[in-house]
Amino acid sequence: MTKKKTAKKKSLTCAICEKSLGKTKIKLQCQNCTKWAHQECTGVLKNWSCAECKEEESSFEDDTDIESEAEDNSGSQSEVNTKKECPKPKKKYTLGDIMKQLEKIETKHDELLNKFQEIL
């Protein structure tokens, strides 16, 4: 005798908009935990980290701002989204964008290292 299990599948919901992930939309899993989100909610192309994991990763952050974020002041704070909809991403960063930012960081690092060596 075998018993059939009639367990219901738990429906996955987006960690950002809290709507069902469904079967047709592209979804991403946090690279550090088990949370999932719609790709359009995350605004990224490949990897995504949920808010809790991003807090843990904050030790890797640099004070250097990505220029496009500073330039994007077009959004009005008075606009409030009352529906649980996926927010539109501000910008999708390409590998080229990231490489340019890394080059700027490397240049800044070299400048600071030279200043430090001059002091010694």
Tens digit of pLDDT for each residue in 37-69? 888 888 776 666 777 777 766 645 544 444 444
Residue 102 structural domain = 90-120
> How many whole angstroms separate alpha carbon 68 and alpha carbon 48?
20
Digit-by-digit pLDDT tens for the chain (120 residues) are: 455 554 455 678 888 888 888 876 778 888 788 888 888 888 776 666 777 777 766 645 544 444 444 444 444 444 444 445 555 656 677 888 889 999 999 999 999 999 999 988
What Å distances lie between residue 7 and 2, 4, 93, CA to CA? 15, 9, 41
Domain count within the chain? 2
Question: Is residue 64 situated within a structural domain?
Answer: no
Question: Is residue 33 situated within a structural domain?
Answer: yes
Q: Is the pTM of this model over 0.85?
A: no
- 55 and 94 both lie in a single domain: no
- 16 and 55 both lie in a single domain: yes
Question: Is residue 76 situated within a structural domain?
Answer: no
User: Is the Cα torsion angle 54, 58, 59, 61 positive or negative in sign?
Assistant: positive
Question: Is residue 83 situated within a structural domain?
Answer: no
Question: Is residue 35 situated within a structural domain?
Answer: yes
Residue 51's CATH number: 3.30.40.10
Question: Is residue 41 situated within a structural domain?
Answer: yes
CA 62 to chain centre: 15
Question: Is residue 16 situated within a structural domain?
Answer: yes
Q: For residue 56, which phi and psi values (nearest 5 degrees)?
A: -70, -30
Question: Is residue 95 situated within a structural domain?
Answer: yes
Q: Is 28 exposed, middle or buried (0-12, 13-18, 19+ CB in 10 A)?
A: buried
The phi-psi region of residue 43 (left if phi > 0; otherwise alpha if psi is between -120 and 50; otherwise beta) is left
